[in-house]
Structure 1
Amino acid sequence: MTELVQRRCVPCEGGTQPLSHADAGVLMKKLRANWTLADDASYIEAHFEFKNYWRTTAFINAVIWIAHSEDHHPDIQFGYKTCSIRYSTHAANGLTENDFICAAKVDALNRD
C-alpha cells in the first residue's frame, strides 16, 4: 500500500499551482495500473468493471464516502457494470497531490 493512503487532502485556494507533467508522472507510479494521466497532465482517470449493478453502486458509494471525508470530489460516470472516475483540482486548473491521495484511497477499496 502506498503512503498516499495514509495522507489527508489539504484545502486548495485560488492560485494553487498544478503539478507538472513530470511530478504527476512520479505520483502515477504509486497508483494501480488502471489509472491514466491525461497528455496535458490536467487529470487522472480510471475505469472499473464489476460483476453486477449492486457491486458497481456499492463501489461508487465507497468512492463518494472518500470524496466527502477528504472534501475532494471526482467526476464519476457509471453504467450497469462499469464506472469511470476522473480526478482533477478545479482550484489549480490541473492536478494536485490531493488527486493522487484520493486515487490511492480508491485503489485501497476491495473490488472483488
Structure 2
Amino acid sequence: MSLLNENCPAKVDPLSDAELASLLSQVSGWTVEGGKLVKTFRFTNYYETLAFVNASAFLSHQLDHHPELHVTYNTVKVAYDTHSVNGLSRNDFVCAARTDALLA
C-alpha cells in the first residue's frame, strides 16, 4: 500500500533502521535531522507560504499527527516525529507523503 493512501494508526512502534531506510526512500526530499523527518518547502511569496501552512494544518488535524513548522516569507520547514515513541514512526512518513501531495 502506498504511504499516501494510509491512515495514521493510533498505536505505533518506533522504526527499525531497515524500516526507516525503506520508508525514507519513499518520500522524496525528506531527510532525518536530529531524530525528526524534515523537509523545507519553498514558495514564490508569503501568500503561497501561508496557504501551504493552512493546508498542512488542516491535514494535520485530520490525521491527528502534528508537525513542527518553521515559517519564513517564502519557506516552510516541516519536521515530523512521534512523541509517544520518542523518535520516528510510520505515521511520520504517512504525513510526509500527504504533505507532499498538497503540492502535487
| Alignment TM-score > 0.5, same fold | yes
TM-score (norm 2): 0.92
Kindly state the Cα deviation for residue 20 of structure 1 after the two structures are TM-superposed. 1.8
CA distance in 1, matches of 2:61, 2:71: 19
RMSD, aligned α-carbons: 1.6
Specify every segment of 5 or more residues in structure 2 that has no aligned partner in the other structure, as ranges.
Answer: none
Greater helix percent: which structure? 2
Displaced runs of 4+ in structure 1, greater than 6 A?
A: none
TM-score (norm 1): 0.86
Q: Deviations over 1:1-23 (max 9, x none)?
A: x81111100114xxx53112221
2:24 matched residue in structure 1: 28
Match of 1:70 among 63, 84, 88: 63
Specify every segment of 5 or more residues in structure 1 that has no aligned partner in the other structure, as ranges.
Answer: none
1:59 matched residue in structure 2: 52
Match of 1:77, SS state, is strand
Amino acid at match of 1:53: Y
Does 2:26 correspond to 1:19? no
Percent identical across equivalent pairs?
38
